[in-house]
Structure 1
Amino acid sequence: MTEIILIALSLSMDAFAVSVSSAACTKNLRKKHMLRAALAFGVFQGAMPLAGWFAGYAFIERISRIDHWIAFGLLFLIGGKMLIEAAEDFVKHPNPACPTDAEKKKRDLSSKRVLIALAIATSIDALAVGMSFAVIRQPILLPSAVIGFVTALVCGAGFIFGKRIGLLFGRFAQIAGGITLIAIGARILAAHLRLGI
């Protein structure tokens, strides 16, 4: 269960970063918009692993000899992508600041269209994690529910942090999430290699 919670926390970091920046940079973001956004991020983040699991399950027999390598590769790629995005953001914006007016429109969580687009964009990584659960033959219903629930809670916290602390915290959370996913992938690979599976 600890590993599932760590994966859920790691996957929620993109949505957390969006929540932090929206709260920090949007003056008139209402509580109903924050609640709706937290629920949307949670629902999409919980649904994507299910979709990924069913997609991955279709290929289990064909990839059974290398399933641990695939799980490691998927988690490594997702974690690495999170680290690269955080590094690029740091290079482009060494001092965290609110986005320009044009960028703010792309993150306006009061718009349903923007909210759905961001919920999908921040949950794509969860699709790949669902595939990795399928290839290592792990059940998905509990992890999917935990991922969705944790994401909703983390987004709620992101709105609170964004209002009080600002943008810097979201960047560090994304780095921590990337490192955690890589470490979990490495643990899966090491366990299979040690057991000779």
Structure 2
Amino acid sequence: MSIIELLAIAVGLSMDAFAVSVCKGLSRKKLKFADMYIVGFYFGFFQAAMPLIGYYLGIQFSKRIMSVDHWIAFILLGIIGAKMITEAFASHSPDEEENDSLGFHHMIVLALATSIDALAVGVTFACLNENIVPAVSIIGIVTFLLSAAGVRIGHSFGVRYKAKAEFAGGLILILMGVKILAEGLNII
């Protein structure tokens, strides 16, 4: 597979992570460079790790997970999206901490939800006898860069329109979950 093909796959896989990163940026009152790197790291790591796992576990495991991956993504994104919408309507004190939205458990759930489809890509790489190290490296780096940029882009809009942006971000996550579910059920 050429570098161009791997880059195209990497960009395609990273779009969910990018969208969620924009949502993370929307919810940040103050943006630090570390916030961008934290989000980029989680998404980049998981987008690289899932194809690697898929590659080594092979087609047999993939057949089992592929039958429910859309449900898993739908449920995880729906829960996080609903939480964001609820928080958009909740009253917040000005001194309220934001650390929880980039906390370990929260980010693991989001990173996992946005990278489940990459597991099947790993199985595809195994079937194609693709060299997995460059493939997952490119996927991880591209996802890291796009996710970090997504946080910055989201923050640019979120400072001025926090409640509306948080509501929109939650709605986007829910819609992404519905889209993934519809694709998985062959509705669209």
Fold-level match, TM-score > 0.5? yes
Q: Please give the residue correspondences for 1:63-74 in structure 2 after superposition, counting only pairs within 5 Å.
A: 63-74=61-72
State the partner residue of 1:122. Answer: 107
CA deviations 1:46-100 (Å, max 9, x no partner) are 1123334444555444434444322212221222223321343245x2xxx5435
Is the 8 Å Cα contact of residues 48 and 126 (structure 1) preserved in structure 2? Answer: yes
CA contact (8 A) 1:15 1:119 kept: no
Q: Which amino acid aligns with 1:174?
A: G
Q: Name structure 1 gaps, 5 residues minimum.
A: 24-32, 109-113
Match of 1:16 in 2: 25
Q: What is the Cα deviation at residue 152 of structure 1?
A: 0.7
Pick from 145, 150, 154 the counterpart of residue 154 of structure 1. Answer: 150
The CA distance in 1 between the partners of 2:25 and 2:108, in whole Å, is: 11
Is 1:11–1:177's contact at 8 Å kept on the other side of the alignment?
yes
What is the RMSD computed on CA atoms of the aligned residues?
A: 3.4
Task: Please identify runs of 4+ aligned residues in structure 1 that moved more than 6 A.
Answer: none
Residue 182 (1) aligns with residue 178 (2): yes
Contact 2:50–2:115 (8 Å) recurs in 1: yes
Residue range with higher mean Cα deviation, 172-181 or 137-146: 137-146
Identify the residue that residue 165 of structure 1 maps to in structure 2: 161
Name the counterpart of 2:131. none
Q: Quote how far apart the aligned CAs of 1:41 are.
A: 1.6
Counterparts of 1:13 and 1:174, CA distance in 2: 11
Equivalents in 2 of 1:187, 1:90: separation in Å? 29
Match of 1:111 in 2: none
Q: Deviations over 1:114-151 (max 9, x none)?
A: 79x53663343222443432145355624433332222
Aligned residues: 168
- When residues 184 and 144 of structure 1 are mapped into structure 2, their CA distance, relative to the original with a 3 A threshold, is farther
Structure 2 partner of 1:44? 42
1:133 aligns with 2:118: yes
TM-score (norm 2): 0.66
1:7 equivalent in alignment to 2:16: yes
User: Aligned partners of 1:183, 1:42: CA distance in 2, in Å?
Assistant: 23
Cα distance, 1:81–1:154 mapped onto 2, change above 3 Å = same
The answer to whether the 8 A contact 2:22-2:155 is kept is: no
Q: Cα distance 1:58–1:73, how it changes in 2: closer, same or farther (>3 A)?
A: farther
TM-score, normalised to structure 1, is 0.64
Q: Which runs of 5+ in 2 are unaligned?
A: 1-7, 126-134
Q: Distance in 2 between matches of 1:10 and 1:162?
A: 14
Q: 1:156 to 1:129 in 2, by over 3 A?
A: closer
Percent of residue pairs identical: 14
